[in-house]
Structure 1
Amino acid sequence: MRYTTHPARALPRRLAVVGQGRVGRTIAAALSGAPLNVLGPYGRGELPPRCDCLLLCVPDREIEAVARVVAGVAPLVGHTSGATPLAALSPAAESGAGVFSLHPLMSFPEPIDDRAAARAHLAGAGCAIAGDSARTRDVAAALASATGMVPFEIDEVGRAAYHAAASIASNFLVTLEAAAEQVASGAGLSAEQARALFAPLVARTVENWARKGPARALTGPIARGDEATVARQRAAVAATAPALVDLFDVLVEHTRALAAQRPSAPAPAAEVA
């Protein structure tokens, strides 16, 4: 991967967005305004008017079918999937269009229709781009940058690993926090109380991971080698949420391996007699 620079002239003048979901509406709002003329977002069954570029913000399983419907509408066609290869746009490519992808490395819990709010949501986020030519990669990079995102290239071979990593970093984190809520009920905490209490801890942990890397950010009983506490935790999980014991055990195993990578603390200085 490498970060990509792009000339502003790579921006298409008339861009049509297909897809009225959370991603389509947010990206359409973020891109609206000069020098872009953004059309839509259109529904998946609608045929946009002829334009310079089409951006398909539809579910992965529908990309190829929608690309077939819109083939011939624009000389440039892209999608916003992180996992789906460019080959899904082959119906558009067969009609002579250059194809590309741009995948915002950001979660979209709800659509954002206000331009300023959409740009604030995307500002500084990474955006994985790919294209079938230097020109289409420049277009993808220009569109990403126009929203405030930071484009970087991802090749087709690495696409699945990239998207899996993104899911682990984001989706699985939410799954873990849901598990924490379940276990916290054993301490008499409601889900709402657990979220309010643990959110600052999670936020600071993520900050530490981003600044220091995983090994240095790791704290807690496993990092300290306090196996007695880990055993008490496991017993509490088994009593409160037995379905989570296997998950707890796997996480303990991997956390022990991570703890083994931590740099050794410096030896304390000898006291002067």
Structure 2
Amino acid sequence: MSTSNQSRIVASISVVGAGRVGRAAAAAFRAAGYEVHGPTVRGERIAPADAVLLCVPDREIGDAGAAARGAAPFVGHTSGATPLVEAGVDFGLHPLRAFVGTEDADSFDGVGCAVAGTSPDALRVAEELALAVGGRPFEVRDEQRAGYHAAASIASNYLVTLQAAAETVAAASGLPEGFRSHLVPLVRGTVENWAAHGPREALTGPIVRGDEATVQRQRAAVEASAPDLLPLFDELTDRTRSLVGTKGMPV
């Protein structure tokens, strides 16, 4: 669902930052019918607009925000972790997705967007922008940001780290190069099951079945082939047992 041009608070946007998010945001806002300036890079003049959206690294938000003051009545950022008060901006719009640089004008469609504002009008701007590009806005207050961003990092960043660990164990066990392609359908199916049924019902494998002998064989294989990953394996095993509500064999 998008907002109509007639009901919008802002008509023009200056996008600051030509990285992955900045390029995707500029393309999405243009497709949604906004007058878009940028994305600009550091040192470039910020064109006057109804709103400025800072798509820059967290450490650069303060300087970029100061430079944007005077260019628009509303200045916002796309940071998930940085509180609005700390950043000195009016609103926040953080798309809850991973950008890899190949996104197009539909890159926000259906994506949850954490929005916030230092005033009711600023919050309305953030919600409007999210809705206009097909996003699904939900409010995150400053005091919730650290926990929100930690949850997002666990779900996205640490999932990639976990898959890297799986590839390491597979390679160290002598499985063929390109084994990742066989893991991908498993991971996709698991994520789809988690999305549809929640974590407990999505779980499969030896811990759910109570097959501790298999768990111990897995542990021995990790210890032999990739011993540096053994603490991670043990922690994940313990957390999975807790989720299932079972106790395992002592190690």
Q: TM-score range with shorter-chain normalisation?
A: over 0.9
Of 111, 116, 131, 2:117 maps to 131
Distance in 2 between residues matched to 1:137 and 1:82, nearest whole Å:
15
Distance in 2 between residues matched to 1:155 and 1:86, nearest whole Å:
9
Of 118, 128, 133, 2:105 maps to 118
Alpha carbons 1:47, 1:70 under 8 Å: kept: no
* TM-score in terms of structure 1 length: 0.85
Of 222, 225, 228, 1:243 maps to 228
Of 97, 105, 114, 2:96 maps to 105
Give the AA of the match of 1:75.
P
Which segments of 5 or more consecutive residues in structure 1 lack a partner in the other structure?
A: 93-98, 262-273
Cα gap change, 1:160/1:236 in structure 2, threshold over 3 Å: closer, same or farther? same
Shift, 1:11, TM fit: 4.2
Give the AA of the match of 1:198.
L
| 1:26-175 equivalent positions in 2, closer than 5 A | 26-33=24-31, 35-90=33-88, 99-112=90-103, 117-119=104-106, 121-175=107-161
Alpha carbons 2:93, 2:116 under 8 Å: kept: yes
Cα gap change, 1:19/1:42 in structure 2, threshold over 3 Å: closer, same or farther? same
Alpha carbons 1:101, 1:130 under 8 Å: kept: yes
Match of 1:95 in 2: none
Identity %: 53
Distance in 1 between residues matched to 2:226 and 2:43, nearest whole Å:
45
Residue-by-residue CA offset, 1:149-191 (whole Å, 9 max, x unaligned)? 1111111111110110000000000000000000011342345
Which one has more relative contact order, counting CA pairs under 8 Å at least 6 apart? 1
Cα gap change, 1:20/1:107 in structure 2, threshold over 3 Å: closer, same or farther? same
Distance in 1 between residues matched to 2:31 and 2:213, nearest whole Å:
60
Give the AA of the match of 1:209.
W
Alpha carbons 1:77, 1:89 under 8 Å: kept: no
Coordinate RMSD, CA, aligned: 1.9
Of 216, 221, 237, 1:231 maps to 216
Specify the SS of the correspondent of 2:166: helix
Aligned residues: 245
Distance in 1 between residues matched to 2:233 and 2:186, nearest whole Å:
19
Q: Larger Cα Rg: Structure 1 or Structure 2?
A: 1
Residue-by-residue CA offset, 1:198-219 (whole Å, 9 max, x unaligned)? 1001001001101111011111
Which segments of 5 or more consecutive residues in structure 2 lack a partner in the other structure?
A: 247-251
Residue-by-residue CA offset, 1:3-29 (whole Å, 9 max, x unaligned)? xx9776234111000000000001111
